[in-house]
Amino acid sequence: MDSDDHLLAYMQGRLDPDAAAGFEAELAESPALRAELAALRAAAAALGAEAPPAAARAAGWDRLSRSIEAERTGVPANATRRFSPLQVAGIAAAAVLVWQLAAVPYLPGRGPAGYRPVSDTLTGPALQVAFADDAPLAQVTALLVALGATVTDGPGALGLFTLTFADDAARDAGEAALRARPELVTAVARP
C-alpha cells in the first residue's frame, strides 16, 4: 500500500489496530506526513465529505455488481419495444404516404368516366380524330358525350386522339357526326 492509500485508509478507519498504531508512529516522526493528513482532513471537511458507513459501501458495491452483470447478460432479442408518440406518428404518416402513392392509383373505378389509360388495349371499334385548335372544350366534350365516344389515347405526336365506341354502328354514326362538324373536327380516320 503506498502512502496515499495508507493516509486514506487511516482517515476512513479501515486500518487494523496494529497498522493504525504503526501509522501513528510514522506520523509522529514525519512532519510532511502530518501536513498531508491535515490537508486531506481540511479538504474533506470543506467538501463535507465523511467516510461512508460500511453498509453504504456494501450497498454501492452490490449495485455496481448488478449493473455489470446486467450489461454482461445483455437484453433478450424478444424484449418488448415501446415506441414514442412521435415514432408512432411518423410510422402512420409513412403508411399513408405509401398507400397514396403505391396503391390508390391502381384501384379499380378511379378517375373520370370515359377515360382509360393508354396502356389499355383498344376494345371495340375506334376512330382517330384531330380537333380544331380553337375548338371550345365544352363543345367538344358535349359532342363526345352525345356520340357515346370514349377518349382512349391522345393527343399523340400528330395531335390525334383515339376514340372508341360501343359497337360498329355507333362508330359509323360517330364518324358521320364528327365529319359534319368541321368547326370542331379537322380530321377523322379509322386506325
What is the rounded average pLDDT of the residues 160-179? 89
pLDDT in tens, 132-154: 888 888 898 899 999 988 888 87
Q: List the alpha helices (DSSP H) in the chain.
A: 3-12, 17-29, 31-47, 54-73, 85-98, 137-147, 168-179
Domain 126-189 listed as CATH 3.30.70: yes
Q: What is the mean pLDDT of the chain?
A: 81
- Any idea which of 65-74, 90-99, 104-113 has the lowest mean pLDDT? 104-113
pTM of the model as a whole:
0.37
Q: pLDDT category, 91, cuts 50, 70, 90?
A: very high
